[in-house]
Structure 1
Amino acid sequence: MALSPEEKAKRVRRMFSEIAPRYDLLNRLLSFGADLRWRRRAVGLALERRPARILDLATGTGDLALLLKQTAPGAEVVGADFAPPMLELARKKARERGLAVRFLEADALALPFPEGAFDAITIAFGFRNFADYRRALGELHRVLAPGGRLVILEFPPPPKGAFGLVYRVYFQRFLPLLGGLISGNFGAYRYLPESVEAFPPPETLKALMEEAGFSVRYELLTFGVAAIHVGDKA
């Protein structure tokens, strides 16, 4: 039975709150470290226009927000997420690294920011967890200033061909087992491949972003395992 948007939001918030202590370790292990390269590429694209105000939405434990601040120390960076345990870890990291990033709790479908509040918005591996993609894109477009940029780094459905077949076996069988053993939450790591399989393919996400008012391009990373969509607001 399909979950309602409200039920999906509650389920995702609960899962990510539970796996917060092992979230960073599992990201490195399960992507073989490739997520670090992907994040650096996303940061480079987000900073191309030298934004002064940046929102990292679905910030999790703050990796991308902190990388943005480290790369562009003069920019104001805000990290937002709806899982408080993730935010506590992000704040701890920021203190340890001496980086002035503000982290706050927020829902992507009703962002607590005025219209045009940010020059750039980034989302790394969180967009597919939103309960309503169209509504989220509408909110993102609203809080972006004219000329602002949205950068979405996400896992599309596994690519076709031999590589895609091997990757799908890894993603559907090995990853949930390893993630469950390390985190103690098998359900969360069964949800991950399920959510990726159900996520729109890159062309469909591009069309959704264009429908929301963005001018969009995208690139595939590591044989299509990940994708970055760049949406510019006119």
Structure 2
Amino acid sequence: MFNNIAKKYDFLNHVLSMGIDKLWRKKAVKLLKPLQPKKILDIATGTGDFALANLKLNPDKVVGIDISTEMLAVGREKIAKKNLSHKIELLEGDSENIQFEENTFDAITVAFGVRNFENLEKGLSEMNRVVRPGGKVVVLEFSKPRKFPIKQIYNFYFFRILPFWGKMVSKDASAYTYLPESVDAFPDGADFLKIYEDCGFTDTKQIKLSFGIASIYIGTKPIQ
């Protein structure tokens, strides 16, 4: 599915979110600034937007992994055009079986990816394994607003407008029907924080964005 929509993915992301997804990424990246991470892993990197945003932290290296070969191809082309291939490396990789050794990265980022994990706990446990003690994981993900009238507007847009335009532009009916369905099924808020903690993270926190349309979840691997 993601291979099918790869070439239209960036366009649809920015247009259907009215560009607000860029602001969400910037806010997520700022949370890592005090850590000054030098080696960052971006999981479910897709076309590399979050990997590129991480360069604001001035790391030595950003590595992005994804299972979609077509999304990675688009991302590599984008990075090459910006002459940033020496700073960002995109690799094929499974977020639930990460190919790196324990304690490899100072920080990990994930944008709109964890809800696609087949096994959420396994994916989060893998992040805990490859981030160093004291390192942080920042997850940016859609959540479900609960207050009137944002909840009603959001549901109408997400379940009616977005699938229609997503299908029209991408020519893939399943992708933008899957999106609202996957968000609806995702354990957001306190439910996600509980899973986060069960997978070994401490100092967990949710930061709601845009009236709860999306959330940033941050967690730290404890120093033992």
Report the TM-score range of the alignment, normalised by the length of the smaller protein. over 0.9
Aligned residue type for 1:26? L
1:205 aligns with 2:192: yes
> Which residue of the partner structure matches residue 80 of structure 2?
95
Q: 2:178 and 2:2 mapped to 1: Cα distance?
A: 11
SS at match of 2:34: coil
Moved more, 198-207 or 156-165: 156-165
Asked if 2 retains the 8 angstrom alpha-carbon contact of 1:217 and 1:231, the reply is yes
> Which residue of the partner structure matches residue 179 of structure 1?
166
Aligned residue type for 2:205? R
Q: TM-score when scaled to structure 1?
A: 0.91
> Which residue of the partner structure matches residue 17 of structure 1?
3
Q: Deviations over 1:197-216 (max 9, x none)?
A: 00012110011001111120
1:42 aligns with 2:28: yes
Q: 1:176 and 1:214 mapped to 2: Cα distance?
A: 35
Q: CA deviation at 1:156?
A: 1.3
Runs of 4+ in 1 over 3 A off after TM superposition: none
Residues 108-187 of structure 1 mapped to structure 2, 5 A cutoff: 108-187=95-174
Q: 1:119 and 1:64 mapped to 2: Cα distance?
A: 16
Q: Deviations over 1:125-171 (max 9, x none)?
A: 01100000111111010001000000000001343321111110110
Q: 2:60 and 2:118 mapped to 1: Cα distance?
A: 30
The verdict on how the C-alpha distance between 1:74 and 1:205 changes in structure 2, with shifts beyond 3 A counting, is closer
> Which residue of the partner structure matches residue 80 of structure 1?
65
Please give the root-mean-square deviation of Cα atoms over the aligned residues, in Å. 1.0
Q: 1:43 and 1:181 mapped to 2: Cα distance?
A: 32
Aligned residue type for 2:71? M
Tell me the percent identity.
Answer: 44
> Which residue of the partner structure matches residue 58 of structure 1?
44
Q: CA deviation at 1:21?
A: 0.3
Q: CA deviation at 1:65?
A: 0.3
1:228 aligned to 209, 216, 223, which one? 216
Unpaired runs of 5+ residues, structure 2, are none
Q: 1:180 and 1:153 mapped to 2: Cα distance?
A: 24
1:219 aligned to 207, 212, 221, which one? 207
Q: 2:33 and 2:79 mapped to 1: Cα distance?
A: 20
Q: TM-score when scaled to structure 2?
A: 0.95
> Which residue of the partner structure matches residue 9 of structure 1?
none
Asked if 1 retains the 8 angstrom alpha-carbon contact of 2:39 and 2:59, the reply is no
Aligned residue type for 2:216? I
Unpaired runs of 5+ residues, structure 1, are 1-14
Q: Would you say how many aligned residue pairs link Structure 1 and Structure 2?
A: 219
